[in-house]
Amino acid sequence: MWSSYLCALRHGDQYVSSGSRVGRISNMIDLRALRENPEPFRASQIARGADVSLVDRILEADERRRSSLSAFETARAQQKEVSRSVGKAAAEERPAILAHAKELAAQVKELEARSNEAAVELDTLAHQFQNLIEGAPAGGEEDYVVLRHEGPAVRDFAAEGFEPADHLALGEGLDIIDVRRGVKVSGSRFYFLKGWGMRLELALMTAALDTAVKHGFTPLTTPTLVTPQIMGGTGFLGAHSDEIYYLPADDLYLTGTSEVALAGYHTDEILDLSAGPKRYMGWSTCYRREAGAAGKDTRGIIRVHQFNKAEMFSYCRPEDAADEHQRLLAMEEEMLAKVELPYRVIDTAAGDLGSSAARKFDCEAWLPTQQRYMEVTSTSNCTTFQARRLGIRERRENGTSPVATLNGTLATTRWMVAILENHQLPDGSVRVPEGLRPYLGGLEVIEAPAGA
């Protein structure tokens, strides 16, 4: 049923379950908190640049659902009482009582249908609501706040006496990136990594794996195909669902990050977090349609349809989420130190957050040839947003309650762009950062193969 419901939402259709939904309270958002104080919800929508009226429409739908549910339950109780009285009634009274019971049954059926419709309406509206922001600056894509600059100083190539080449020119010269044949085989935004290029990517991923294990994360190889329930539960079937590859014959989605599978790992489970957060690192190939990226970063491997990524994921108590967020950010910066990149840390503005994130920090590496910063890591605190949708809870003194989920990039193919450009040498070779040399057999410089 849930799969059909999400498909209805995806295609803008109305969905009415054939089974009873009576009594099912939407778990998309904290309705009690919304009823008690809707102002933070309105403020969050304003900061995101989203529809503020959605808050009142959800409140109105919630009131309709609760009143229709109350009417149904009252009528059903009356029907049961009348039905029980049939056996006690005198013979001459029974026909009238049975007729009344039949009328009540029809009334109950109608009220049940109304209650189901009200529940669907509420779920549909609640599904549209994005997570409440927590501390993120207001505004859109350009309204981020730079928190600090880190890493080595930006190189002055003019002072070194040569013009830097971009990552594709370097990759082709070293025979480690082959975009031309990637396009021939699969179309635009595909590529081959070759020789030391393939090994450099593997070195990055393995270094990320070692870093995660050192910090107590359990490594997982994750599925890259997931159900609509999992994809929708993580918040990826919203405004940017056209960025996701969908396989209609199988009703499955290709994931653009292992965050999706990792979030779904404990779906409908009650976790024991008494000993601290549950932390995982997913290693997977990722797929993105880049439907909205026409004309953006078309050269090289910055914005592609397929890449590899090591992703951190944490389940923790909501009150510990802010500290856990800083922990994930620190691990990302530990990895960036290994590859010796100049970077900055930004606090992403509310209007540029994904629907599930309450706050997000990005690390952006410097690109010499474009004179700009490029995102290489991202870590998001999703508070209880995903856990509510996926039914992931913790048992506490007063019963069960949703946990918080967080995610963060520990390495990805895109890092190679910044590594090649920042560590290039005048002859077109590339210095290997010391932190990756143990994973490349001690290699210090990637050079063009003989005869290239």
User: What is the SS3 assignment for 178-220?
Assistant: EHHHHHHHHCCCCCEECCHHHHHHHHHHHHHHHHHHHCCCEEE
- Residues annotated in the binding site, as ranges? 257-259, 288-290, 304-307, 311, 375-378, 407, 409
- Residues annotated in the binding site for L-serine, as ranges? 257-259, 288, 311, 407, 409
> Which residues share a beta bridge with 218?
280
C-alpha to C-alpha distance for 61 and 346, rounded to whole angstroms: 38
Catalytic residue, chosen from 26, 68, 115, 378, is 378
Residue for token pair 């995102």: 375
Give me Rg for the CA atoms of the chain. 27
DSSP letter, residue 424: B
Catalytic residue, chosen from 76, 388, 393, 414, is 414
Question: Is-catalytic flag, 414?
Answer: yes
Asked if residue 306 lies in contact with residue 190, where contact means CB atoms within 8 angstroms, the answer is yes
Catalytic residue, chosen from 288, 327, 389, 393, is 288
Question: Is-catalytic flag, 24?
Answer: no
- Residues annotated in the binding site for ATP, as ranges? 288-290, 304-307, 375-378
Measured CA distances, 175 to 35, 194, 304, 339, 436 (Å):
61, 7, 19, 21, 20
Question: Is-catalytic flag, 355?
Answer: no
Catalytic residue, chosen from 317, 375, 401, 447, is 375
Query: How big is the chain, counted in residues?
Result: 452
- 364, containing H or E segment: strand 359-367
Phi-psi region of 219 (alpha: psi -120 to 50; beta: other; left: phi over 0): beta
Question: Is-catalytic flag, 42?
Answer: no
Question: Is-catalytic flag, 388?
Answer: no
Catalytic residue, chosen from 42, 66, 155, 303, is 303
Strand 399-402, strand 393-396: pairing: antiparallel
Active site residues: 288, 303, 375, 378, 414
